[in-house]
Chains A and B, each alone.
Chain A
């Protein structure tokens, strides 16, 4: 089974500053023949379902603000919020879909 480990578990960032969340996979999730990384990122606010932000590791879903970006390949991935806004306070999850489906444990983002 592929295990995703996120770091940190929580972080506090000042408004307008950068937030960086890491996601490490126990196995490579790069499909070499398709040159695609099978990784997505979600945002979840209290009492709501998750919202898709990024897929294929770096493609923003429709309507997602440009301040959200994804990067990485193979086993190491990053979600960056370039300038944190108040509405970005949430828990963020990475998800791999290379082998069945699995999620990281989540990273809570708060305002400092």
Chain B
């Protein structure tokens, strides 16, 4: 059983950055794949990118390239999502999730979500 616990809600101004964390329980952190997704109010789900902490490999959705960075700290079993140059459209609930398995890009464990509000 894996538990993913995310950091708390954030409020940021347009043009600033935010970093959200996702701490995983269990002893498979280095071999698992962790994904970040977001859900804007009243909207569907958007995949943002993923990381394999054991090898530091990352993939990003093309539209987020250059503005989003996903990192991981193996010493604390924590994955991070940083979004820069925030706009009002980045207001959303951000989720981390664990991929089902190697190259099996669907998600059987999810964090509780972190609300990021971009407001002046």
Contact = CB atoms under 8 A, between A and B. Distances in A.
A102 B112 CA distance: 20
A38 to B, nearest CB: 8
Interface string B93-117: 0010100100011111011110000
B44 A103 contact: yes
B55 to A, nearest CB: 19
Contacts of B100: 52, 55
A71 interface: no
Contacts of B59: 100
A50 interface: yes
A75 to B, nearest CB: 18
Nearest to A105: B44
A40 B113 contact: no
Contacts of B45: 50, 93, 95, 103
Contacts of B108: 52, 61
Interface string B13-46: 0000000000000000000000100000000111
Given A49-B95, A49-B97, A55-B100, A101 B47 contact: yes
Given A49-B95, A49-B97, A49-B113, A101 B105 contact: yes
Nearest to A62: B108
B10 interface: no
Nearest to A4: B44
Contact of B110 (A40, A50, A101): A50
Given A50-B107, A103-B45, 18 more contacts: A40-B106, A49-B95, A49-B97, A49-B111, A49-B113, A50-B95, A51-B110, A52-B108, A55-B104, A97-B104, A100-B59, A101-B105, A102-B47, A103-B44, A103-B47, A104-B44, A105-B44, A106-B44
